């Protein structure tokens, strides 16, 4: 592979990482999924090269690290939302009370809640 072809691969990866960052900041999961395969292919192409100068990859390494941090934060946020939603589902399904001895009792609540309209 020529030096120009290697530079082209690195430039395409650099552009892709910028797009990935924009998608992460915007919370655009569909775009992230679309970019994933292209990113994987570019990285595989670079990994397949016998010789590449470390200096030419330093810039994209920083961007990859930055994006990984953003992705980790996004995943943590998604897990937090999923946990909170699970807690809310639990609350809607039953009511926990304690008797005078401190024993916990679960009272199931109906899943369908009807609102009665009075005139």
Q: pLDDT band for position 53 (50/70/90)?
A: confident
User: Any idea what the Cα angle at residue 71 is, between residues 17 and 66, rounded to 5°?
Assistant: 50
Q: Tell if the pTM clears 0.85, that is, is over it.
A: no
- b/e per residue 3-21 (b: at least 16 CB within 10 A): eeebeebbeebeebbebbe
Per-residue model confidence as pLDDT tens digits over 63-109 = 999 999 999 998 999 999 999 999 888 777 777 888 889 898 887 77
**Is residue 12 scored above 90 in pLDDT?**
yes
pLDDT reported for residue 11: 93
What CA–CA distance (Å, rounded) separates 113 from 115?
Answer: 7
Beta strand segments in the chain, E: 94-98, 104-108
More confident residue, 23 or 98: 23
**Is residue 113 scored above 70 in pLDDT?**
no
Asked if 63 and 19 count as a contact pair (C-beta separation under 8 A), the reply is no
**Is residue 7 scored above 90 in pLDDT?**
no
Asked if 83 and 68 count as a contact pair (C-beta separation under 8 A), the reply is no
More confident residue, 18 or 50: 18
In sequence order, the β-bridge partners of residue 104 are: 98
């Amino acid at each position: 592979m020529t030096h120009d072809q290697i530079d082209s691969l690195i430039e395409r990866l650099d552009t892709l990482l910028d797009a990935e960052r924009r998608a992460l900041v915007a919370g655009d999961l569909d775009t992230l999924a679309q970019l994933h395969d292209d990113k994987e292919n570019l990285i595989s192409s670079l990994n397949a090269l016998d010789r590449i100068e470390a200096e030419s990859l330093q810039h994209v390494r920083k961007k990859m690290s930055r994006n990984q941090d953003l992705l980790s934060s996004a995943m943590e946020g998604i897990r937090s939302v999923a946990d909170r939603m699970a807690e809310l589902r639990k609350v809607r399904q039953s009511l926990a009370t304690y008797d005078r001895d401190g024993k916990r009792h679960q009272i199931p609540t109906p899943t369908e809640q009807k609102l009665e309209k009075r005139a």
